[in-house]
Amino acid sequence: MENPNIAQARLIVVKAGSSLVTAEGRGIDQDALNRWASQIAALKQRGIRIVFVSSGAIAEGIKRLGWPRRPTALNELQAAAAVGQTGIAQAYEAAFRPHGIHTAQILLTHEDLSSRTRYLNARSTLKTLLDKGIVPVINENDTVTTDEIKLGDNDTLAALVANLIDADALVILTDQRGLYDSDPRKNPQAQFIACIAADHPELENMAGGAGSGIGTGGMYTKVRAAKRAALGGAATVVASGREADVLLRLADGESIGTLFTSSQNRIAARKQWLLGHIRPAGKITVDAGAVTALVEKHSSLLPVGCTAVEGSFHRGELVAICNADGHEIARGLANYGSGETERILKTPSEHIAAKLGYVWEEELVHRDNMAHW
C-alpha cells in the first residue's frame, strides 16, 4: 500500500529520538548521523526540503561529563545540554559535509513559539535557511528551559515546528514500528495499526509510556505530537528509524509505520485558528484595490493598499483587515507593529526601508498568515 501524502510532500520535518542518534548513553552515534545525512542529501536532490529535529544533546553531554546516568536535577540537565549541544552541532556538520551541505543549529523554547513576534522571526529564519539549501537541525534549548517554559519533549517540538513552517509532512522516527492498539511489550497479542484518524477518541489510550532511560518521550508523546501536526494539516507518520533508508522509502510512497490522517486540510486548520480563537489586537483599513486583491486573488496585504490603522499592536499580533465601510474582510498576523504600520501606510514595498530604515517583510500581512471571512 502506498502513502501518497508523504510521497507528495515537498517540505518535511523529520524528528529522530535520542535512541536513534546516540549509542544508548555512549554519546553521539556518528554512523547513524551519517546515514540520516545520506538520505536527506538524496531527498534534496529530488527537490524535497528537510528540517531535522534532533534529540541527543543531553545524552551527549552526559557522556562527555562522564556521568553514569541521566540526572534529574534541572540545573544538571541544563549543564549536560550546554556541553552536548556543541558536540551535536559538530557531528551534524561533519555528517553533511561530504554531501556539500551546510547545517544550522536552531535552539527553541516554548516562549519562542508562543510569542507571535518570536514565532514570525523563527519562521522567517527557517524559511531563509531552507531557501539557501541549508538543513536546519533543531533542538529544544535545554540550557535555559525551566518547568514553566519547557516544551517537555522533542516530539512536541517537531509538531510545533511542522505547523510553524507549514510543512507538508512530519515524520517521527522512533525505536518502535509505530502505534499498536496496546503496548506490545506487555501484550504479545497487540495489533499493529497502519493508519488511524488523528482525532480518534482512543488514540492516547492506545499509547504506552516512555521506553528509554536516555530520552524523555514514549509513544504517548509521539501520538500526541502526531495528532497536533495532523490536525494542523501535515501528513504525519510515526515509524521505526531502524528501517533501512526509511526516509527514502517513505518519500517513494511506501507504507511504513503508522499514518495519522485528518479530515482538516492546512488552510482549514489555520483559518479556524485565526478566525475563531484570537481577538484582533488592532485594525487596518484598506482601499478598494486591496479589497479586490485580498478577496478575489487571496493575495498578501501590501502597505501600499492600506489607508488607516487603529489600535496598538506588536509585530506578530493578530489584526483585523477592513474595507472602507469598516466591514472585516480578513484577519492575519502583522509583520509590523502599529507604529511602524502608521509610518508605511500607502507606501510601495520597495520604499519601506526609506520610511523605517529597515525591512522585516515586503508584506504587511502575508497570505500564509491570513484567513478570509
Q: Report the CATH number at residue 115.
A: 3.40.1160.10
Task: Please give the span between the terminal C-alpha atoms of the chain, in angstroms, as a whole number.
Answer: 39
Q: Which of 235, 264, 293 is the last residue of a domain?
A: 264
The span from the CA of 29 to the CA of 8, in Å, is 31
Q: Do both 36 and 106 map to the same domain?
A: yes
Q: Are 225 and 260 in contact (CB under 8 A)?
A: no
Query: What integer is the mean pLDDT of 320-325?
Result: 95
Q: Do both 163 and 219 map to the same domain?
A: yes
Q: Do both 252 and 355 map to the same domain?
A: no
**Rounded to a whole number, what is the largest CA-CA distance in the chain?**
69
Q: Do both 219 and 304 map to the same domain?
A: no
Q: Do both 207 and 280 map to the same domain?
A: no
Q: Are 68 and 214 in contact (CB under 8 A)?
A: no
Give every CB contact of residue 173 below 8 A, 6+ residues apart in sequence: 14, 15, 16, 17, 20, 239, 240, 241, 246
**Tally of structural domains, the chain:** 2
Q: Do both 286 and 237 map to the same domain?
A: no
The span from the CA of 210 to the CA of 226, in Å, is 16
Q: Which CATH number belongs to the domain containing residue 363 in this structure? A: 2.30.130.10
Q: Do both 80 and 183 map to the same domain?
A: yes
CA dihedral (289, 345, 317, 336) in degrees, to 10, reads 120
Percentage of the chain exceeding pLDDT 90:
50
Q: Which residues span the domain enclosing 346? A: 273-372
Local structure of 6: helix, strand or coil? helix
- pLDDT, tens digit (0-9, with 9 covering 90-100), for 151-202: 557 888 898 899 888 899 999 998 889 888 887 778 888 899 999 988 787 8
Q: Do both 161 and 102 map to the same domain?
A: yes
The span from the CA of 235 to the CA of 166, in Å, is 11
Q: What is the band of 149 on the pLDDT scale with cuts at 50, 70, 90?
A: very low
- pLDDT, tens digit (0-9, with 9 covering 90-100), for 253-270: 999 999 998 776 666 666
The span from the CA of 130 to the CA of 348, in Å, is 27
pTM for this model (two decimals): 0.74
User: How does strand 11-16 pair with strand 49-54?
Assistant: parallel
Q: Do both 216 and 328 map to the same domain?
A: no
Give every CB contact of residue 337 below 8 A, 6+ residues apart in sequence: 313, 314, 315
200 alpha carbon, distance to own chain's centre: 23
Amino acid at 232: G
Q: Are 40 and 50 in contact (CB under 8 A)?
A: yes
